[in-house]
Amino acid sequence: MRFDISPQDLYRHLDVCEALGTTVLLCDWGLMPEWLRVPGIADVADPLYAESIGAYLDHLIHTREYRCLRYFIMVNEPNWEVKDFALWRRGLEQVAAELKRRGLDRQIQIAGSDEAHAQDDDWHFQAVDQLKAGESKAVEFKLGFDSFKLMNIRYNWVVEPGEFRILVGSGSRDIRCEGTVTMV
């Protein structure tokens, strides 16, 4: 696969992030609005879209050896750009399968997107509320040093002592579990 853009600006940013140990969330703006159209790719559910995302991430992680890339966001504001949740979900499933096929799923995670011009959390509720009524699944994640660090005024990454609240729920208005972690 060939890329027709010059990635030098991105490389320059990623080089700085790599040097500073900064975790990067890379976002693709998608291709649904006319100004983002890519010839030969119909929409975000087109398998060629997933293949191109996989090829580009593979290049950045394996060829360029960027370890700072940890998360990928598919489409910045899908409720505005894609507008069709089912179409976006099919595309997301294909991107996830492509990352797994390339072995990238061990190095990069798919992160949630933003929601544009919304008066409520409907798009995000759809994204997290995919279980059938009565169905449950266990979810486990580890919160390491990176989860609590921030950059101080001297541009050093630090974890400040104190209490951090951990909130878990189906959305911002439905917190179902919470806890506190104390950093010393």
Dump pLDDT digits (tens) for 24-37.
Answer: 999 988 888 888 88
Q: Which domains does the chain have, with CATH numbers?
A: 1-130 (no CATH), 136-184 (2.60.40.10)
Question: In 35-147, where does DSSP find H-type helix?
Answer: 47-58, 78-81, 85-101, 122-128
Q: What is the mean pLDDT of residues 140-160?
A: 82
Spatial contact of 159 and 176, defined as CB atoms under 8 Å apart: no
Q: Is 104 exposed, middle or buried (0-12, 13-18, 19+ CB in 10 A)?
A: buried
Kindly report the pTM of this predicted structure: 0.69
Q: Which of 76-85, 86-95, 167-176 has the lowest mean pLDDT?
A: 167-176
Average pLDDT over the chain reads 84
Please determine, for residue 135, whether its predicted confidence score (pLDDT) is greater than 80.
Answer: no
- Please tell me the distance from the alpha carbon of residue 64 to that of residue 60, in angstroms, as a whole number: 5
For the segment 87-102, what is each residue's pLDDT rounded down to a tens digit? 998 999 999 999 999 9
